[in-house]
Structure 1
């Protein structure tokens, strides 16, 4: 007679169901990651003078700069505005991906995701 261990049921029926659920979750996560790669988020700095658009792969897709902030005597300010806009767009993209993943995983903290 097979003896069960605490926390583990006798037989493999539940294990098969769990494996199917894990495989389903993995497929859903792959689909969601692919969808998120195609989404874009934008962020601005300098009151909208610099706008950065980033995709779900955290790649800079576009950068728009209003002419009035282009001052040859103050290049550092423009550089700071660009860095701020790009960093904010990256942060928003990361937040969006994390939020979508946590909806799927039910808040589980799965390493590597």
Structure 2
């Protein structure tokens, strides 16, 4: 759109619409980020022997281990269970982030195609 087109009534309406869409995307993004920050996801390993709790932003918040896990007697096995639980939780967080942010991505793609 050149200057002459932007100054036309239709050009101004298009610009106003684009600005409104941009404002809405920004607002939706802030809301999604707040929702993610408040979300928690848990991951499990060893049939529930180890549980990792991770925030929607990916921060490990808690790690719980059943008393039974200490009877394994093998530190490497315990470490493997902890890693598996954390990775399970991180995988779930990534899915949650994609679910919450993909509508915004599609909206942005639509805005790009509108120009």
| Higher helix residue share | 2
Q: 1:72 to 1:47 in 2, by over 3 A?
A: closer
Query: Is contact 1:102–1:108 with CA below 8 Å preserved after alignment?
Result: no
TM-score by length of 2: 0.79
TM-score by length of 1: 0.80
Q: Unmatched 5+ residue regions in structure 2?
A: 110-115
| 1:53-104 CA-partner distances (Å, limit 9, x unpaired) | 1001211111110111114740000000000100110110111011111134
How many pairs align? Answer: 105
Q: 1:107 to 1:10 in 2, by over 3 A?
A: closer
Q: Unmatched 5+ residue regions in structure 1?
A: none
Across the aligned residues of Structure 1 and Structure 2, the Cα RMSD in angstroms comes to 2.4
Q: Determine the structure 1 residue equivalent to 2:89.
A: 89
